Amino acid sequence: MKYQIKQTNELTEKEIEHILQLWDISVWNTMKPAYFRTFFKDSEFHFLLDSHSEILAVFRLNFDFVLEISGIQYAFAEAVGLVAAHKKKGYGAMLVKEFKENVAQRNLETIGFCHAGLRSFYEKCSIEILYDKAKAIKEHAGSEWINSEDDDILIFNVSQPIKEQLIALSSKNNAYLITKE
């Protein structure tokens, strides 16, 4: 097995089709490669590949992710879209291990999110989890701010001062997802 990272513009059409198939998000299923490359231009893709370079697992690193906490904006690399081609084979866990080592080596402030049902997977992968902290993140929806749908914040690589900001999140101390206009 091989760990590989590709920028969005380095992905082949076949790889893009396979990623979309693995993600299985209905509104993205018909996405064409050119649009995919534009839509995910601020991302890189982390893969676990078999000996024939077939994708066993994929993880996307989104570099367009900013949270405002107490009036200060923090830019993160957001780990999202982890999926394995075959369940219960350990491919997702292997990719998470490689991914975590990579972002630590590159000193990238990297977080992710999960629902409570995925906690045990990330615990087995030795990922630090800030339980129930994602609910304190507000996202803009139309003219109002709504709570994130996720439960937990996953810490892949974050400096101690920023981790303390995330730990301090609560219903009275929200973070706000800042999106580009």
Q: Are 142 and 105 in contact, with CB atoms under 8 Å apart?
A: no
Per-residue model confidence (pLDDT) at position 29: 87
Tokens 């049902």 -> residue? 117
Structure tokens at 45: 């893709």
Half-sphere exposure at residue 5, Cβ-oriented, CA atoms within 13 angstroms:
13
Q: Which of 30, 42, 39, 36 lies closest to 11, judged by CA?
A: 36
Structure tokens at 34: 């050119």
Cα–Cα distance measured from residue 90 to residue 93, given in angstroms and rounded to the nearest whole number: 5
Per-residue model confidence (pLDDT) at position 179: 83
Per-residue model confidence (pLDDT) at position 181: 57
pLDDT tens for each residue of the chain, 181 residues long: 999 999 999 999 999 999 999 999 999 989 999 999 999 999 999 999 999 999 999 999 999 999 999 999 999 999 999 999 999 999 999 999 999 999 999 999 999 999 999 999 999 999 999 999 999 999 988 889 999 999 999 999 999 999 999 999 999 999 999 987 5
Cα–Cα distance measured from residue 83 to residue 60, given in angstroms and rounded to the nearest whole number: 10
Cα–Cα distance measured from residue 15 to residue 55, given in angstroms and rounded to the nearest whole number: 8
Cα–Cα distance measured from residue 123 to residue 138, given in angstroms and rounded to the nearest whole number: 25
Per-residue model confidence (pLDDT) at position 51: 95
User: Is the pTM value of this prediction over 0.75?
Assistant: yes
